[in-house]
Amino acid sequence: MGDFKEHYEAGKSVAVLAAVAGLLFTLNGGGDFGEGVIVAAGIGAVVLATSLLPDIDHQASKPRQAAGRVGIVTVVGGILGLVIFVPDIVDQLGLIVTTFGITGNPSSLGFGVLVVGGSILLASGGEMFDSLTTHRGFTHSVPFVVFLGVVTILVTWHLSSYGGIFAVFAGQNGVLVGVAAAIGTLVHLGVDSK
Ligand SMILES: [Zn+2]
């Protein structure tokens, strides 16, 4: 199990590699150098941040532990609220699927993602509830890696709609940032498993 310094060092190394990969990927896809640098910076920052994030649920002090738990529950509840009250999110989930080369109606694909995700939640519900409320649980799990990746894509796409420097994160580049978030979290889990 790693301490903050180990997580930071591992996160930093992988962040640099991921940033370089993001730059090359963008240039290879026909983007200009400026776009590549912005994508690389976004990916690097997200990998570093997410490689530290899982420890919100096992900080030493009681208030930090409580805040971490409240934070996780708030995020999960917030996402459920979005799905119920902002159905557009279903279309966006479908659009994520289409960036992997799968074609179809975004609404149908998004609904499919929700059904599959919901089934997994139902199958592991009790365990997940326990881990949500337990010290060092949900944020150190593979479902959290997937969850954070998808949330990061949606947040990044939303940011891209503000335009300016964020505009480059529309479409496939937003998916890259989500993959970066998943990688950062996996780096954290990797350090902890040593
Ligand atoms: Zn940890």
Tell me, in angstroms, the distance from the centre of ligand 1 to residue 1's CA: 7
Minimum mean pLDDT range among 86-95, 115-124, 137-146, 182-191:
115-124
In 33-124 the beta strands, taken as DSSP E runs, fall at none
Torsion angle of the four alpha carbons 169, 171, 172, 178, in this order, in degrees rounded to the nearest 10: 60
In this structure, the number of other CB atoms found within 10 A of the CB of residue 159 comes to 18
Tell me, in angstroms, the distance from the centre of ligand 1 to residue 30's CA: 38
Report the pLDDT averaged over residues 3-29: 93
Minimum mean pLDDT range among 1-15, 41-55, 75-89, 90-104:
75-89
Tell me, in angstroms, the distance from the centre of ligand 1 to residue 17's CA: 21
Question: Token digits for 132?
Answer: 């949500």
List Cβ neighbours of 105 (8 Å cut-off, separation of 6 or more). 94
Which domain does 177 fall in, by range?
4-192
State which residues have CB under 5 angstroms from ligand 1, the bound ion.
54-55, 192
Buried b (16+ CB within 10 A) or exposed e, 104-140: eebeebbbbbeeebeeeeeeeeeebeebbeeebbbbb
Q: Does the structure show a pLDDT above 60 at 13?
A: yes
Tell me, in angstroms, the distance from the centre of ligand 1 to residue 168's CA: 32
Q: Does the structure show a pLDDT above 70 at 178?
A: yes
Tell me, in angstroms, the distance from the centre of ligand 1 to residue 52's CA: 8
Tell me, in angstroms, the distance from the centre of ligand 1 to residue 129's CA: 19
pLDDT at position 61:
47
Tell me, in angstroms, the distance from the centre of ligand 1 to residue 9's CA: 14
pLDDT at position 156:
93
pLDDT at position 150:
93
Round the average pLDDT of the chain to a whole number and report it. Answer: 80
Tell me, in angstroms, the distance from the centre of ligand 1 to residue 144's CA: 13
Do the Cβ atoms of 153 and 177 come closer than 8 Å? yes
Question: Token digits for 56?
Answer: 């919100």
Report the pLDDT averaged over residues 34-46: 94
CA gap 141, 189 in Å, rounded: 8
pLDDT at position 35:
92
Q: Does the structure show a pLDDT above 50 at 147?
A: yes
Closest to 120 measured CA to CA, from 75, 84, 150: 150
The number of distinct structural domains making up the chain is 1
Tell me, in angstroms, the distance from the centre of ligand 1 to residue 121's CA: 23
pLDDT above 90 covers a percentage of the chain that reads 40
CA gap 81, 131 in Å, rounded: 21
CA gap 150, 144 in Å, rounded: 10
Tell me, in angstroms, the distance from the centre of ligand 1 to residue 2's CA: 6
**Cα separations in angstroms, 84 against 61, 77, 78, 143:** 35, 11, 10, 21
Tell me, in angstroms, the distance from the centre of ligand 1 to residue 51's CA: 9
Report the pLDDT averaged over residues 42-69: 74
- Give pLDDT tens digits for 73-111: 665 665 666 666 766 877 888 888 888 787 888 877 877
Record the pTM.
0.63
pLDDT at position 55:
81
DSSP conformation class of 60: S
Tell me, in angstroms, the distance from the centre of ligand 1 to residue 192's CA: 6
pLDDT above 70 covers a percentage of the chain that reads 72
Tell me, in angstroms, the distance from the centre of ligand 1 to residue 142's CA: 13
